[in-house]
Structure 1
Amino acid sequence: MSESFYLENKVALVTGGASGIGAATARELSRAGAQIILADIHLPAAEALAAELPGSRAVKMDVTDSASIALAFAGIPSLDILVNNAGIGLVGDISRTLEEDFERVMRVNVSSVFLVTKAALPLLLAARGSIVNIGSVAGSVGVKQRFAYCASKGAVQAMTRQIAVDYPKELRVNCIAPGTVQTPFVEGYLEKYHAHEKEKVRAELVSRQPIGRLGTPEDIASLVRFLCSKEAEFINGAVIPIDGGWTAA
């Protein structure tokens, strides 16, 4: 294995690690030499993936519940890397966004970053560790019919920068802002909202990325690996788009 972007003997926790970007990130960090803790509310799926990754394990974690998070961290003696990946979406402009749905999006996408990072902070400070928050281009630009989602991902960017300002020498924290990525998350959206025209809407999603394709979970995972490595030690408080040129257009 090349020594570039190597994470030998590092311990990495990935929230929402059982599928999509989280699963690809767990595999990539494991290939880089890290020991992975897969944190997911769906424990059997996380356990199945952990069984494939040497030295890795799964923990059940509801990222919206501080008691669940505390229970998971009670069994984690050390931590070098935290990837805040868990998240949900919601379709609708402000007039069609229900209060309870807005609150749920903010709880899963925003409060979770606060709660998990706060729980992990003593371990990360002890290790001079690295945090990678999975944001979205929706935190940087307006996306039609995504009022709550845009609000939540804008908050993730702001939290990333703020933590970097408070702890500039003690740890590193960065945010990745993907465009549309081909994941179960996107497939669920197509099935729920566009079951009668999935391929038409899929083509529209592709067209938003000037490069001409959707992102892959592996695209995102490779950037996570880089940001956690010693080669990226001068990158802190950054929001990095990985969107096929969407926000450049």
Structure 2
Amino acid sequence: MKLFSLEGKNAVITGGGSGIGEAISKTFAGQGAVVHILELDSNKAKSIEEEIKSLGGKAFGHQCDVSNQEETKKVINAISEKSKIDILINNAGIAHVGNIEGTTEADMDRLYQVNIKGVYNCILSCIETMKNHGGTILNMASIASTVGISDRFAYSMTKGAVLTMTYSVAKDYLEYGIRCNSISPARVHTPFVDNFIKKNYPGEENEVFQKLSKTQPIGRMGKPEEVAHLALYLCSDEASFITGTDFPIDGGYIKLNG
């Protein structure tokens, strides 16, 4: 069997229709997993589902608001009734720019609902079935979970919570054969980054892109596929000795910046 094979495994990937989530969906399907893409926007989920199927992979798109516990349980229960869930990737998340004075109560509530409660809802919905056969949970944290980043107060708060949820779940479910880890990317070049620059710096897109790229010591942003490859390893049987650990993928940001 080839290394990092996911043949015979079923993976639930939140936010799997764009950016890093899209890359994970395609990578996992390419390694033989049956991929279930959960997206707030059903069109995104269906688009990636069709693309994966056109390449010979197996995928199913599901509309799901992960901040809604009832809806999340309904979608995940429907999946688990047809096939056991081996892998859960908590990738769905939203961003916010601003320090504490630039963060409204509405901003805090909005980020909490998706970035913290969404992760909680998905783990809670999967954990009971995983207790029967084991499984792997991978949470998308951030370098903002562990280091200070200017003007990212609310975002950093939520990603710090994702990191500590990872440790807690890993500790509590060792006896059930459930592994739980997280990945902490630095800035990754996704459509979100391009749209952010276009919206906030019209006419200066190239200059701002280069400036943001150079904030990583390695001199460029990460690629979604690079994060997906790390996720593949951590969810494969080759990583069966790894749990309760966060993995930075940051171009040297945490250790080499400053």
Aligned residues: 248
Please state if 1:86 is matched with 2:92: yes
1:145 equivalent among 136, 146, 151: 151
Aligned to 1:134: 140
Residues 15-94 of structure 1: pairs in structure 2 closer than 5 A: 15-53=14-52, 54-77=57-80, 78-94=84-100
Q: Distance in 1 between matches of 2:35 and 2:223?
A: 21
Query: Would the aligned equivalents of 1:80 and 1:123 in 2 still touch at CA under 8 Å?
Result: no
Q: Which residue of structure 1 aligns with residue 131 of structure 2?
A: 125
Give the Cα separation in 2 of the matches to 1:52 and 1:169: 38
Q: Which deviates the most, 193-202 or 97-106?
A: 193-202
| Cα drift, residue 140 of structure 1 | 1.0
**1:175-214 C-alpha deviation (Å, 9 max, x unpaired):** 0000100011212221232234322222221111111110
8 Å Cα contact 1:79/1:127 also seen in 2: no
Change beyond 3 A, Cα 1:192–1:102: farther
Q: 1:188 maps to what in 2? A: 195
Q: Does 1:205 align with 2:208?
A: no
- Matching residue's letter, 1:127: H
Whole-Å separation in 2 of the counterparts to 1:246 and 1:127? 38
AA aligned to 1:229 is S
Paired-residue identity, %: 38
Q: Deviations over 1:20-45 (max 9, x none)?
A: 00010000011111000000011122
SS at match of 1:36: strand
Aligned amino acid, residue 40 of structure 1: E
Q: Which range is displaced more, 192-201 or 217-226?
A: 192-201
- Conservation of the 8 A alpha-carbon contact between 1:63 and 1:69: yes
Deviates more, 1:235-244 or 1:69-78: 69-78
Q: Distance in 1 between matches of 2:200 and 2:225?
A: 26
- Unpaired runs of 5+ in structure 1? none
Mean CA deviation greater in 41-50 or 174-183: 41-50
Residue 77 of structure 2 contacts residue 125 of structure 2 at CA under 8 Å; is this kept in 1?
A: no
The letter for the 2-side match of 1:246 is: Y
Distance in 1 between residues matched to 2:230 and 2:117, nearest whole Å: 24
* Superposition TM-score, scaled by structure 1 size: 0.96
CA drift at 1:107: 1.2
CA contact (8 A) 2:87 2:135 kept: yes
Q: In 2, Cα distance between the equivalents of 1:162 and 1:233?
A: 18
Distance 1:72 1:242 in 2: 31
Cα pair 2:73 2:121 within 8 Å, conserved: no
On the 8 A contact 1:15/1:83 being kept in 2, the answer is yes
User: For 2:204, what is the secondary structure of its paired residue?
Assistant: helix
User: Is 2:104 aligned against 1:98?
Assistant: yes
Could you list the structure 1 runs, at least 4 aligned residues long, displaced by more than 4 angstroms after superposition: none
Any gaps of 5 or more consecutive residues in structure 2? Answer: none
Per-residue CA deviations over 1:32-59 (Å, capped at 9, x if unaligned) read: 1100000001112211211232221111
TM-score, scaled relative to structure 2: 0.93
Residue in 2 that maps onto 1:5: 4
- State the one-letter code of the partner of 2:144: A
- What letter is aligned with 1:168? L
Distance 1:176 1:168 in 2: 19
The CA RMSD over aligned residues, in Å, is: 1.2
Partners of 1:103 and 1:188 in 2: CA distance: 23
Moved more, 41-50 or 85-94: 41-50
> Structure 1: how far apart are the matches of 2:232 and 2:77?
26
Task: Indicate the SS of the match to 1:100.
Answer: helix
8 A Cα contact 1:17 1:38, kept in partner = yes
